[in-house]
Amino acid sequence: MAHDTGPKRGPSRRGILTGAGGVAALPLVAAAQPAAHPPAPGARPRMDITLTVNGRDHRVALDPRTTLLDALREHLDMTGSKKGCDHGQCGACTVHIDGRRVLACLTLAATVQGRKVTTIEGLARDGVLHPMQAAFIEHDAFQCGYCTPGQIMSAVACVQEGHANTDEKTREYMSGNLCRCAAYPKIVAAIRDAATKMARA
């Protein structure tokens, strides 16, 4: 794909859906970064940076404006992290950087060099779901599923931080993840269950 300087893969589901696998690669880039403003005088249009995502290094040439979320979704074809609000208000884009949960939509990709990013795609081990992923399925903790990757990334960190030992605490420390389908009771149940399993593991 024209915009991807990362390792070549087979056609992705997203590539086929958007038509970017063949003829229409450019609109995808344009949609991610509207060229509404001319470059600042002397601004470097591209920076070569290395992103370490789920244990793999990816070299990409990015406009400095690119957020980590757009880098993941538009340049690395990792569309698990979702764009809900793009302004820090919903948590759909939650990923881990050096083991801490953060928002990819307010993180400039350039600031992430040399740090370890974990996304929802990196949670499963050898094809086995993370206990949190399994618990979300078991407890039916979603409806449309759009908020779910962010919920799960946030929930894993919430348990690791020690903020999921009561339901009340879980609700408070999961308040950065909104669910428009209001699956909240089942999300809390899934986290309660997964917390026990994570403690045993």
Partner 1 sequence: MRPFHYEHAADRAQALSLAAASADTHYLAGGTTLVDLMKLDVMRPATVVDINALARDHSEIALDGDHLRLGALARMSDVAEHPAVRRDFPLIAQSLDLAASPQIRNMASLGGNVLQRTRCPYFRDTHWAACNKRKPGSGCAAMEGVNRKLAVLGVSDHCIANYPGDFATVLAALGATVDVEGAGGRRVIAFEDLHRLPGDTPHVETTLKPGELITGFSVPAGSWTRRSLYLKIRDRQSFEFALASAAVALDLEGGNVRTARIGLGGVAAKPWRSHEAEAALQGHRLDEASARAAADAAFAGATAHGQNAFRIELGKRTLVRALIQTAKLET
Ligand X SMILES: Cc1cc2nc3c(=O)[nH]c(=O)nc-3n(C[C@H](O)[C@H](O)[C@H](O)COP(=O)(O)OP(=O)(O)OC[C@H]3O[C@@H](n4cnc5c(N)ncnc54)[C@H](O)[C@@H]3O)c2cc1C
Residues near partner 1, by CB under 8 A: 33, 37-40, 42-45, 47, 63-65, 67, 86-88, 91, 94, 100-103, 106-108, 110-111, 154, 157-158, 161, 163, 171-177
Q: Using CB distances below 5 to 8 A depending on partner kind, what does residue 110 bind out of partner 1, ligand X, ligand FES, none? A: partner 1
Per the CB < 8 A criterion, the answer to whether 147 and 82 are in contact is yes
Residue type, 26: L
Q: Using CB distances below 5 to 8 A depending on partner kind, what does residue 154 bind out of partner 1, ligand X, ligand FES, none? A: partner 1
Q: Could you tell me which of 155, 109, 106, 115 has the C-alpha nearest to residue 132?
A: 155
Backbone angles phi, psi at 149, to 5 degrees: -60, -40
Compare residues 113 and 140 and give the one whose CB is closer to partner 1: 113
From 45-53, 70-78, 87-95, 121-129, give the range in contact with ligand FES by CB under 6 A: 87-95
Q: Kindly tell me which residue out of 145, 165, 166, 167 binds ligand FES, with binding defined by CB under 6 A.
A: 145
The neighbouring-strand residues paired with 58 are 51
Give the separation between CA 27 and CA 60, rounded to whole angstroms: 19
Which three-class secondary structure state does DSSP give residue 30? helix
Q: Kindly tell me which residue out of 103, 123, 155, 158 binds ligand FES, with binding defined by CB under 6 A.
A: 103
Q: Kindly tell me which residue out of 17, 19, 89, 100 binds ligand FES, with binding defined by CB under 6 A.
A: 89
Give the separation between CA 64 and CA 89, rounded to whole angstroms: 23
Which residues inside 61-120 make contact with ligand X, applying CB under 6 A?
A: 88-89
Compare residues 137 and 144 and give the one whose CB is closer to ligand FES: 144
Give the separation between CA 51 and CA 114, rounded to whole angstroms: 7
> Which helix (H) or strand (E) segment is 16 a member of?
helix 13-18
Q: Using CB distances below 5 to 8 A depending on partner kind, what does residue 29 bind out of ligand FES, partner 1, ligand X, none? A: none
Q: Are strands 116-118 and 47-53 parallel, antiparallel or unpaired?
A: parallel
95: left (phi over 0), alpha (psi -120 to 50) or beta: beta
Q: Counting contacts by CB under 6 A, is residue 138 touching ligand FES?
A: no
- Which residues bind to ligand FES, rule: CB under 6 A? 83-86, 88-93, 103, 105, 142-148, 179-181, 183
- Which residues bind to ligand X, rule: CB under 6 A? 88-89
